[in-house]
Amino acid sequence: MGAFPVTRITTSRKDSIDFSNLRFGVYFTDHMFVMDYSNGAWHSPRIEPNEPMAISPANMTFHYGQAVFEGLKAFRQVNGRIVLFRPDRHASRLNRSCRALCIPEVAEDVVLAGLTQLIREERDFVPAQRGHSLYIRPFVIAMDNTLGVQSSQTFRLIVLLSPVANYYAEGMKPVSLHVAQHHSRAAKGGLGMAKTPANYAASLLPAKRAKEKGFTQVLWLDATEHKYIEEVGTMNIFFKINGELFTPPLDGDTILSGITRMSVIELCRSWGTPVHEQRVSIQQLYEAAHSGELEEVFGTGTAAVISPVGEIQYNNETIQINGKQIGPMAQKLYDTITGIHYGELADPFGWIVEVC
Ligand SMILES: *Cc1c(COP(=O)(O)O)cnc(C)c1O
């Protein structure tokens, strides 16, 4: 893949970034990777200054939400190399989301070459501190300017880069979950398997209600029966019951296929821990908690990697998990995956891809 043309900014904003207080998605690098779709083809891949764009108020994305996104990270390893975690999986998931939203698929090698060249350009923005990283946000928006409800004929792909802090400023901490009994994240036949703004819009009100009740996040049940557990907040979920792991299966199309979920399953199987991709009802979970068989609950996602769950409330009954402490499986998975990210541990699965 040849080098894409670069238009550079004149003054870097790097010096205005407080690398000791990065938080999440607040700061951005100087440039972005851009590509356009028109007349039936993706074209004009390029690197441009990351600056406000002129967009028509009639842009269809504002009105009907035809858009998809991805989220992955680049890490500065202990030996100084900058690497990506399973970028091929993120590129293929971007296309899965595109198909669900009637967006023309992108050439995965072009997207990966584009973000790689962009990260090389912006290598000084990749934080050096252990636990910090460069968050990569590829996304595609519709670019037609019309109020007619139909698929757009033109699109734009952009890749933004944002240096981010460790999700856990003071170490991993168990979260509390409130089970959504009246809301659902995604229905059968809907967009649950796509990374698209609509799913996030649907999650905002239930998330606000859960916070008002004093909980960190929402535990989502299936939209048909409000019985089976699907996801937690914007993460996949795992249960450790009697020494074995359970996670909801992806066959219903309502659950996002997380790359962290996939990696946790592969790691646990390599350790000899059985993993069942099997539906777990909220009833079964409560029974396992009451009988003392529920050992751990944790969420998985690129942002936090592993997010242990200490407490769940359903129907005004609260259960505590592992005495609200981080469980050994959650800790081992977190240490292993982040160890692979930063090059402290070997990468036996070939998940790491070098950028520079
Ligand atoms: C992105 C996302 C996840 C986690 O996926 P990763 O690839 O592990 O980051 C889980 N659930 C939802 C709804 C998501 O949008």
Q: Ligand 1: distance of its center to the CA of 135 in Å?
A: 14
Give nearest CA residue, ligand 1 atom 14.
234
Give nearest CA residue, ligand 1 atom 5.
258
Q: How far apart are CA 25 and CA 162, in angstroms?
A: 6
Strand partners for 309: 175
Q: Ligand 1: distance of its center to the CA of 193 in Å?
A: 10
Rg (CA), the chain: 21
Would the pLDDT of 2 be above 80? no
Q: Ligand 1: distance of its center to the CA of 252 in Å?
A: 16
Structure tokens at 164: 């981010």
Q: Is the fold of 14-164 the same as that of 175-341? A: no
Instruction: Output phi, psi for 138, to 5 deg.
Output: -80, 140
3-state secondary structure 255-310: CCCCHHHHHHHHHHHHCCCCEEECCCEHHHHHHHHHCCCEEEEEEEECCCEEEEEE
Range from 80-84, 91-95, 110-114, 179-183 carrying the lowest mean pLDDT: 179-183
Q: Ligand 1: distance of its center to the CA of 184 in Å?
A: 16
Q: Are 50 and 28 in contact (CB under 8 A)?
A: yes
Provide the pLDDT for residue 252. Answer: 87
Q: Are 37 and 171 in contact (CB under 8 A)?
A: no
Tell me, what DSSP letter sits at residue 59? B
Q: What is the mean pLDDT of the chain?
A: 96
pTM for the model: 0.97
Tell me, what DSSP letter sits at residue 322? G
Residue ranges per domain, the chain? Answer: 14-164, 175-341
Q: Which residue shows structure tokens 């409800």?
A: 149
Provide the pLDDT for residue 169. Answer: 78
Ligand 1 residue neighbourhood (C-beta within 6 Å): 71, 195, 231, 234-236, 256, 258-261, 300-302
Q: How confident is the model at residue 183 (pLDDT cuts 50, 70, 90)?
A: very high
Quick one: which atom of ligand 1 is closest to the CA of 195?
15
Q: Positive or negative, the Cα torsion across 79, 160, 201, 106?
A: negative
Strand partners for 191: none
How is 110-170 classified by DSSP, letter by letter? HHHHHHHHHHHHTGGGS--STT-EEEEEEEEEE--B--SSS--S-EEEEEEEEEE--S-TT
Q: Ligand 1: distance of its center to the CA of 61 in Å?
A: 22
Q: What angle do CA 230, 236, 241 make, to 5 degrees?
A: 75
Q: How far apart are CA 172 and CA 180, in angstroms?
A: 24
Q: Ligand 1: distance of its center to the CA of 261 in Å?
A: 8
Q: Mutation test of ligand 1: which of 235, 262, 307 has the most ligand atoms closer than 8 Å to its C-beta?
A: 235
The pLDDT tens digits for 3-57 are 999 999 999 999 999 999 998 999 999 999 999 999 999 999 999 999 999 999 9
How is domain 175-341 classified at the CATH fold level? D-amino Acid Aminotransferase; Chain A, domain 2 (3.20.10)
The pLDDT tens digits for 204-236 are 999 999 999 999 999 999 999 999 999 999 999
In the three-class reduction of DSSP (H, G, I as helix; E, B as strand; rest coil), residue 340 is classed as helix
Alpha-helical segments (H) within 42-125: 60-64, 87-100, 108-121
Q: Ligand 1: distance of its center to the CA of 258 in Å?
A: 5
From the centroid of its chain, how far is CA 307?
13
Listed in sequence order, the residues at least 6 apart from 274 whose beta carbon sits closer than 8 Å to its beta carbon are: 243, 244, 245
Would the pLDDT of 1 be above 80? no
Q: How confident is the model at residue 98 (pLDDT cuts 50, 70, 90)?
A: very high
Q: Ligand 1: distance of its center to the CA of 199 in Å?
A: 11
The average pLDDT across 333-343 equals: 98
In the three-class reduction of DSSP (H, G, I as helix; E, B as strand; rest coil), residue 16 is classed as helix
Listed in sequence order, the residues at least 6 apart from 290 whose beta carbon sits closer than 8 Å to its beta carbon are: 319
Name which of 75, 103, 66, 73 is nearest 90 in CA terms.
Answer: 73
Instruction: Output phi, psi for 319, to 5 deg.
Output: -115, 145
How is domain 14-164 classified at the CATH fold level? D-amino Acid Aminotransferase; Chain A, domain 1 (3.30.470)
Quick one: which atom of ligand 1 is closest to the CA of 263?
8
Quick one: which atom of ligand 1 is closest to the CA of 231?
11
Quick one: which atom of ligand 1 is closest to the CA of 301?
8
Q: Mutation test of ligand 1: which of 96, 236, 250 has the most ligand atoms closer than 8 Å to its C-beta?
A: 236
Q: What angle do CA 321, 323, 329 make, to 5 degrees?
A: 65
Structure tokens at 166: 């460790």
